[in-house]
Amino acid sequence: MSDDKKHLLRTPSFRLDGKVAVVTGSGRGIGKGCAMGLSQAGAHTVCVARTQADLDQTKAEIEELGGSAETLICDVTSTEQIREKIGGLDRIDILVNNAGTNIPQPFLEVPEENVDKVIAINSKAVFMVAQIAAQKMADQGDGGSIINMSSQMGQVGGPIRTVYCMTKHGVEGLTKAMACDLAEHNIRVNAIAPTFVNTPMAQQFFKNEAFKKSVMDQILLDRIADIEDIMGACVYLASPASAMVTGTSLLVDGGWTAK
């Protein structure tokens, strides 16, 4: 082979063969999509959620497409369960820290119990899952990729979303700070920040025509995101194709925050 051919540039791989990916909240919606996307890229995917029936469905669909998966029941609001179940896995190369919730209410009507509930899942659980997975990656010594699921609402504000916005802005800051601390272990940390995604939960909100119109007026591409849109972003951030990307947030918002 000539010297010229030795130096031909080649596209970095988007493949994840031989990697183990853990995806929280993967029984349905975005988490299920991420689990399926990573498995189709070659990763063995550990699907984590609280409901076995949902996880079994995700696993079955992954295997139907030729992928490899296992299920893991874990309540991520329990640090004890995270340590025992996620920390007890043999290996973690990729973490998609996706489990989250939202209780839309006007700011003046939000009860303390709902503040605590959203913070428990969107903030504390995200931190603890990431810390325990990152420790395993550091101990393995091979680096890794952590993807925190943020939101476009982690970059802007919006009505009836004060607690959700607070927690997702926190995820954005956590992602940057984690990237600083974990770079020495070659662990990359990034976030995905979707707009409204076509999931059963979103469809419930869109039954309100005024709300649906207010959302569509904000999205430059004039559609809400499909789960597949998030799958592509997830595979990219997990793969060698993003080897120089850390501490950032990939907006998949159709242009919502561009204005």
pLDDT digits (tens, 9 = 90+) for 45-74: 999 999 999 999 999 999 999 999 999 999
Domain enclosing residue 75, as ranges: 15-199+227-251
DSSP-derived secondary structure letter, 67: -
Counting residues of the chain whose pLDDT is more than 90, the rounded percentage is: 93
Asked if residue 184 is part of any domain, the answer here is yes
Query: Tens of pLDDT along 151-177?
Result: 999 999 999 999 999 999 999 999 999
Asked if residue 258 is part of any domain, the answer here is no
Asked if residue 63 is part of any domain, the answer here is yes
Query: Tens of pLDDT along 165-212?
Result: 999 999 999 999 999 999 999 999 999 999 999 988 788 888 999 989
Q: How many domains does the chain have?
A: 1
Asked if residue 137 is part of any domain, the answer here is yes
Active site residue 164: yes
Asked if residue 209 is part of any domain, the answer here is no
CATH of the domain at 128: 3.40.50.720
Q: What pLDDT is attached to residue 202?
A: 84
Active site residue 5: no
Choose, from 59, 168, 207, 213, the residue flagged as catalytic: 168
- Mean pLDDT computed over every residue of the chain: 96
Asked if residue 256 is part of any domain, the answer here is no
Contacts of 256 (CB under 8 A, 6+ apart): 152, 156, 195, 218, 219, 220
* Token reading at 18: 């031989």
> Global pTM?
0.96
Q: Is the pLDDT of residue 4 over 70?
A: no
Quote the distance between the C-alpha of residue 200 and its chain's center. Answer: 18
Choose, from 117, 164, 176, 207, the residue flagged as catalytic: 164
Asked if residue 49 is part of any domain, the answer here is yes
